[in-house]
């Protein structure tokens, strides 16, 4: 049994061509017979037929592997220099034969070019002018023509300082100018162009804010720039409700001056402890939730806020664990695009008046305990 080239084996490989003149056929026949004797050729159904064919192919492959020498791979030119890396040699002469072969081919290529093409001697100036004509536009050098001749460039061009005057008055010195939206600067044109583009982008963003563009501020159209924020609006036109808005906005924006903030910005470094309870540092959370002195004012309003907030969140399916301090400071933090319109409407009518009243009453109680007189308003 001699497998020939082109017959597929069981594993999908092609059996290579074998030189049978260099193989001991008797020994190969004996080994193959031993392998076949071990196989079970009891055939009763198609499954056993496939099993028998597989056993025969395995026996033939095993015999070939034992007696046929492995096929040698094709050598390349680079194998000889890399094979010498593990041998001791003089570093100066390493790979010299390979380098000589490359130089010889290089000289042959040059000689072929000299024989086939007609060459004319040109000067460096003529060559640079030809390159300038090839790269007349400002597009990318896709043909790589400008890298043939190394041209030294100097971007840092300095000019002698000079002054100009008109009617004995010095004229202003301009360091940059604009050309088709590109800034030309005497020091850094790229930086000036980037700054100008950022200014244009910022101007375009602000001009689109009135069209309810969200941008990067995360605000919905109800509280977008150029529109009055919901906290700053009043539902009832009365003096009492309007007078509570400034205190509410100071607490929202973080500009309400407490003792801890006064200690940070004051050069005399006063104590940041709360002047009402004299126990803890007077921070925003301490003032709104913890301080014991205004507890009689805080407790009923806090309970009512929690009750209404739980009812509204359940009605509008707000899947969030709310924080009471966040609700008092900024109710609209929990409004999303899915429930913004309906939830904002309920907050404006039910929750915001309570939070505004709580902030104002705590503020007035603090002024009363600390004996702080309110500055009179001056109308100009």
Question: Tens digits of per-residue pLDDT, 39-62?
Answer: 666 666 666 767 777 777 777 777
Please count the other Cβ atoms lying within 10 Å of the Cβ belonging to residue 231.
21
Distance, CA of 311 to CA of 317 (rounded, Å): 10
Q: Is there a contact between 317 and 334 (Cβ–Cβ < 8 Å)?
A: no
CA distance 39 to 246: 98
pLDDT tens string 229-238: 667 777 666 7
Distances (CA, A) of 284 to 11, 189, 255: 77, 48, 11
Give the three-class secondary structure for 44. Answer: coil
97, 98, 100, 105 alpha-carbon torsion, rounded to 10°: 140
Q: Using pLDDT thresholds of 50, 70 and 90, give the confidence band for residue 180.
A: confident
**pLDDT tens digits, 108-134:** 888 888 887 777 788 888 878 877 776
pLDDT, one tens digit per residue, over 58-94 is 777 777 676 666 665 555 555 565 666 666 666 566 6
**In the prediction, which pLDDT does 183 show?**
77
Determine how many CB atoms are found less than 10 A away from the CB of residue 335: 21
φ, ψ (nearest 5 deg) of residue 226: 80, 0
pLDDT for residue 7: 45
CA atoms of 232 and 220, how far apart (whole Å): 16
For residue 81, what pLDDT is reported?
58
Three-state SS at 170: strand
Place of tokens 């600067």: 185
The structure's pTM equals: 0.40
Residue with tokens 């963003």: 205
- The rounded distance, in Å, linking the Cα atoms of 57 and 49 is 13
Q: DSSP code of 273? A: B
Q: Quote the CA–CA distance of 285 and 339 in Å, as a whole number.
A: 28
pLDDT mean over 243-266: 78
Whether 299 and 273 have beta carbons less than 8 Å apart is answered as no
pLDDT over threshold 60, residue 347: yes
């Amino acid at each position: 049994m001699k497998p020939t080239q082109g017959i597929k084996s069981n594993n999908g490989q092609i059996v290579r061509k074998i030189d049978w003149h260099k193989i001991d056929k008797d020994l190969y026949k004996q080994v193959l017979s031993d392998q076949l004797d071990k196989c079970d050729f009891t055939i009763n159904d198609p499954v056993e037929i496939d099993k028998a064919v597989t056993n025969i192919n395995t026996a033939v492959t095993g015999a070939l592997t034992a007696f046929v020498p492995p096929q040698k791979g094709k050598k390349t030119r680079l194998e000889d220099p890399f094979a010498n890396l593990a041998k001791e040699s003089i570093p100066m002469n390493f790979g010299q034969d390979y380098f000589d072969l490359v130089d010889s081919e290089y000289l042959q290529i040059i000689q072929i070019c000299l024989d086939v093409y007609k060459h004319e001697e040109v000067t460096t100036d003529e060559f640079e002018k030809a390159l300038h004509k090839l790269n007349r536009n400002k597009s990318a050098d896709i043909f790589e023509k400008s890298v043939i001749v190394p041209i030294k460039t100097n971007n840092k061009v300095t000019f002698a300082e000079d002054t100009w005057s008109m009617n004995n008055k010095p004229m202003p010195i301009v360091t940059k100018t604009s050309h088709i939206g590109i800034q030309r600067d005497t020091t850094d044109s790229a930086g000036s162009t980037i700054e100008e583009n950022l200014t244009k982008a910022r101007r375009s963003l602000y001009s689109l804010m009135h069209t309810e563009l969200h941008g990067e501020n995360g605000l919905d159209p109800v509280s977008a720039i150029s529109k009055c924020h919901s906290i700053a609006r009043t539902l009832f036109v009365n003096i009492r409700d309007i007078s509570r808005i400034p205190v509410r906005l100071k607490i929202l924006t973080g500009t309400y001056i407490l003792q801890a903030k006064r200690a940070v910005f004051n050069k005399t470094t006063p104590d940041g402890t709360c002047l009402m309870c004299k126990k803890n540092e007077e921070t925003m959370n301490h003032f709104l939730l913890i301080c014991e002195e205004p507890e009689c004012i805080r407790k009923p309003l806090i309970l009512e806020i929690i009750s209404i907030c739980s009812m509204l969140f359940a009605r509008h399916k707000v899947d969030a664990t709310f924080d009471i301090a966040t609700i008092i400071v900024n109710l609209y933090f929990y409004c999303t695009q899915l429930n913004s319109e309906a939830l904002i409407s309920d907050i404006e009518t039910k929750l915001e008046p309570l939070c505004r009243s709580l902030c104002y009453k705590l503020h007035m109680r603090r002024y009363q305990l600390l004996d702080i007189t309110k500055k009179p308003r001056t109308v100009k």
